A = this chain, B = another copy of it.
Amino acid sequence: MALFLGSYANKVDRKGRVSVPAPFRAALAGQAVHGIVAFRSFKEPAIEAFSLDHMTQMAQNLEELDQFSEERDDLATLFADALQLALDGEGRIMLPQALAAHAGITDTALFVSAVNHFQLWEPETYAKKSNSSRERLLSRGATVKVRPRAAQPGSVPGTEGER
């Protein structure tokens, strides 16, 4: 699973192209199947972007739902909305008009990590959402639990290569 970190603002040129930040390209390069799939976020004014690999996995999870259930139908809608975006020789993608409009992106696109995938935002819009998220986290006293992994050789503190 690719791990995305950070956020990067890149310019959309007059042809509608944007460079995918190099660190994100590096994370994508590790995937078995190369490619980016994007669709409109259904709850936010943003674009969701997954590696083709990850999208394939989500598709497989879909299969576990009942063929004609409402949930399956709804999720399938996401796939109908999804577009595969190709990287050009310089690592840029073409931002389709429909997606850009949904996110309100005009001249600058903010690539934002969502851990296992990433999003594209209009910078100002993201700043607001980011602030409110941080406030919620702070007031809720959010934590991310880290379970130590079992018996990890060499992980005993202080014993590694003294010099």
| Chain A residues in the interface with B (C-beta under 8 A) | 1-7, 23, 26-27, 29-30, 32, 37, 42-43, 54-59, 61-63, 68, 71, 73-84, 112-116, 130, 133-134, 136-138, 142, 144-149, 152-163
Q: Is the CB of B30 within 8 A of A154?
A: yes
Q: Is the CB of B27 within 8 A of A136?
A: no
Smallest distance from the beta carbon of A66 to chain B beta carbons, Å?
12
> Given A43-B68, A76-B115, 11 more contacts at CB 8 Å?
A5-B55, A6-B81, A7-B81, A26-B160, A73-B133, A74-B142, A80-B130, A81-B130, A82-B113, A157-B157, A161-B162
Smallest distance from the beta carbon of A36 to chain B beta carbons, Å?
11
